A = this chain, B = another copy of it.
Amino acid sequence: MEQMHQYRKLYELLREHILSGVYAEGSLLPSENELCATYGMTRPTVRHALDTLVKEGMILKQQGKGSIVRKPPQNIGILSIEGTASAIGVRYLKTDILQKPVAKMWPENFAFELSEAERDLGCIYLERLRFVEDVPVFYDINHLPNIYIPRITARSFENKSLFEILRQEYQIEILGGEQKLKAIKADSKISGLLKIQEEQPVLYIERKLTTNKAGFSIYSTIYFNSEKHSIFGSF
């Protein structure tokens, strides 16, 4: 934990400052040169940190002007959602574990291509239902390769997020990923879980998250009720 990369440290710091209001929405961040001087880094390092913030939609850069702080989108894990209510905070987010982590074989017709090593070792499987302001918003099904993560099936996930546990206990960091999105009709199972009528449209997402451990990716299938919230992305 202590030897995080420099750009990462600056990123985390600026991120916290933005979220906690040290830098107000619409105001300018210190210039790149100032940040270099303040934190004893060179510009490429500072720029790497700022690039990450841009990618997440936290700031907006303008040549000749500066880095503008934006209204922070609310994140749920890696997902960004945007609500109709003005201030949906992560504090209003609740998670139900529908299926605690169990070791299984990979499904027969898995949506993603797997390496031989991944397939041979089987997977860890878990299901979650996540709420914003006590309303179910999305349901996700997750598969992780059964490697690098001893005793994970014994963990409760009650208070910490999956990603936090992976980072803190196993030094696994999410580096990036890819996803496919579709609009589909909710079947009886999904409509029941998300408390919507059958046949209502829901966002269907297949996602692969890559990590700093080679051959360790997290595969998720997500059903998202987009009636009151949206998936939000920057690129």
- List the interface of chain A (C-beta within 8 A of B): 44, 54-55, 57, 60, 62-65, 82, 176-185, 199-204, 210, 214, 224, 226, 230-235
Interchain CB contact under 8 A, B233 and A233: yes
Q: Are B214 and A55 in contact (CB under 8 A)?
A: no
**Once the chains bind, are B183 and A183 in contact (CB under 8 Å)?**
yes
Contact B203 A181 (CB under 8 A): yes
Minimal beta-carbon separation of A171 from chain B (angstroms)? 14
Q: A146 to nearest B CB, angstroms?
A: 21
Q: Contacts A183-B203, A184-B183, A203-B181 hold; do A176 and B231 have CB atoms under 8 A apart?
A: no
CB distance from A216 to the nearest CB of B (A): 12
Of the candidates B44, B183, B199, the one whose C-beta lies within 8 Å of that of A202 is B183
Say yes or no: A178 contacts B232, CB within 8 Å: yes
